[in-house]
Amino acid sequence: MGKEKKIGVLPGDGIGPEVTTEAVKALDAIAEKYGHIFHYTYADVGAVAIDKTGDPLPDETLRVCQASDVFLFGAIGHPKYDNDPKAKVRPEQGLLKLRKALGLYANIRPVSAYEGLLHMSPLKEEQIKGVDIVVYRELTGGIYFGEKGRTADGAYDHCAYSNKEIDRIGKLAFEAAQHRKKNLTLVDKANVLETSRLWRERVQEMSKTFPDVKVEMMFVDNAAMQMIQNPKQFDVILTENMFGDILSDEASVIGGSMGLLPSASIGAHSAMFEPIHGSFPQAAGQNIANPMATILSAAMMLDHLEMIDEALDIRHAVKVAIHNGMVTSDLSKGRSFGTDRVGDFIANQILEGEQGQTFDNIHLGSSTII
Ligand code: IPM
Ligand code: MG
């Protein structure tokens, strides 16, 4: 039975509009195949929103997100703000406000190494083959949202966590581990930080209710090293906001390209899906950005909507694209394709399967269905 869903779409800045267009193509293909109806509502966020309204997150955009079942987010950021530490209004504020206003406390970032792309990673193939990690990053607390300010001769950023903030994401991470390899690594800096010691206490306490999950505690400096030396040891990583920000970027090199990594930001009433990569302004408008991270974010969105087969279809189509070399230049040392061609291929693959999309006719641009 087909379902009807309201999907917000916030393309944002830089390559955001191009990659979200391709993700919507994939969603449209899913809707057609399964008889679902997806209603899209578009809204501005980031530098484009500042240009139009002076606000990186206009009220109207927040309303669109609140009124949607789920929403897709492209990217935000513009170079004109990056080199100006004094800028009062910044695109990133739009994203941070969105996370806070909608209570998107759990940021879920899966990282795996795709067969066929192992050679793209700067790490050795034998080290990354089979890597399958998911980072659960706390997203609405810690140093990002603590009191910050200037003093007469300095500045400060306050880091605080409550039991509740730790417990609610901890629960999601433990549950994820139960469905995976049953390993959970808490990453912290408990040898120095009081908040980290609280994280350890709460996680130790919580582990009593998840006896089947093996828990390990690791300091963040060591974890940063282990992530490169032996990433296969990790299954679920649970960590606070800033450590998660840094570690998930580090983990992204395992897959060979940031252009492949999706993410979900989940709250009690809203859920947002976005690629991990930024707005990549140098590539904007050139049809060279890799749309796969956003397309895979759409797959996470479908999982969240309990459309499991649909999500699998998207992931499979992306694998077929990679297998056939139907990829953008970040994933190919030889022939590569434009953002839109890769998106078309994936949408067609969802709808038509392997039929008609053989390696030869794709590369000649003469496929019967492209
Ligand atoms: C991320 C980004 C953001 C963050 C920035 C854009 C504020 O780096 O989503 O990882 O630091 O959380
Ligand atoms: Mg980041």
How confident is the model over 312-332, as pLDDT tens digits?
Answer: 999 999 999 999 999 999 999
- Cα–Cα distance for residue pair 6/19, rounded to 1 Å: 19
For the stretch 31-53, pLDDT in tens is 999 999 999 999 999 999 999 99
Distance 30 CA to ligand 2 centre (A): 30
| CA-proximal residue: ligand 1, atom 2 (nearest) | 245
Instruction: List the CATH number of the domain containing 80.
Output: 3.40.718.10
- Which of 95, 100, 139 to mutate to test ligand 1, by most ligand atoms within 8 A of the CB atom? 95
| Cα Dmax for the chain | 69
pLDDT tier for residue 363 given thresholds of 50, 70 and 90:
low
Mean pLDDT of 287-296: 98
136 carries an active-site annotation = no
- Residue 45 CB–ligand 1 contact under 6 Å: no
- The answer to whether 22 and 295 are in contact (CB under 8 A) is yes
295 located within any domain: yes
Chain-wide mean pLDDT for the chain?
94
144 carries an active-site annotation = yes
Residue 241 CA: nearest ligand 1 atom is 12
Residue 274 CA: nearest ligand 1 atom is 9
- The answer to whether 116 and 85 are in contact (CB under 8 A) is no
> What is the reported pLDDT for 288?
97
Asked if pLDDT for residue 350 goes beyond 50, the answer is yes
203 located within any domain: no
Ligand having the closest approach to the CA of 96: 1
Catalytic choice (84, 157, 167, 221): 221
Quickly count: other Cβ atoms within 10 Å of residue 252's Cβ.
21
> What is the reported pLDDT for 133?
97
Asked if pLDDT for residue 361 goes beyond 60, the answer is no
100 carries an active-site annotation = no
32 located within any domain: yes
Q: How many domains does the chain have?
A: 1
Distance 325 CA to ligand 2 centre (A): 28
Asked if pLDDT for residue 359 goes beyond 70, the answer is no
C-alpha neighbours within 13 Å on the C-beta side of residue 57: 17
82 located within any domain: yes
211 located within any domain: no
pLDDT tier for residue 228 given thresholds of 50, 70 and 90:
very high
Asked if pLDDT for residue 209 goes beyond 80, the answer is yes
Q: Can you list the positions of beta strands (E) in 118-196?
A: 132-138, 148-151, 154-157, 183-188
Percent of residues, the chain, with pLDDT higher than 70:
95
pLDDT tier for residue 362 given thresholds of 50, 70 and 90:
low
Among 71-75, 129-133, 249-253, 280-284, which is the least confidently predicted range? 249-253
- Dihedral sign for Cα 360, 364, 365, 366, please: negative
Asked if pLDDT for residue 357 goes beyond 70, the answer is no
- Cα–Cα distance for residue pair 344/357, rounded to 1 Å: 11
Nearest to 72 by CA among 127, 105, 27: 27
Nearest to 322 by CA among 111, 29, 30, 117: 117
Domain range for residue 287?
1-102+269-370
| CA-proximal residue: ligand 1, atom 4 (nearest) | 245
> What is the reported pLDDT for 238?
98
pLDDT tier for residue 360 given thresholds of 50, 70 and 90:
low
Nearest to 145 by CA among 158, 154, 155: 158
Mean pLDDT of 245-266: 91
| CA-proximal residue: ligand 1, atom 6 (nearest) | 92
- Dihedral sign for Cα 73, 79, 82, 85, please: negative
288 located within any domain: yes
208 located within any domain: no
- Cα–Cα distance for residue pair 268/105, rounded to 1 Å: 8
The residue ranking higher by pLDDT, 199 or 120, is 199
Distance 247 CA to ligand 2 centre (A): 9
253 located within any domain: no
Asked if pLDDT for residue 369 goes beyond 50, the answer is no
Three-state DSSP state, 151: strand
Question: Model pTM?
Answer: 0.93
- Residue 92 CB–ligand 1 contact under 6 Å: yes
Three-state DSSP state, 16: helix
Asked if pLDDT for residue 195 goes beyond 50, the answer is yes
Enter the DSSP assignment of 84: -
CA 370 to chain centre: 28
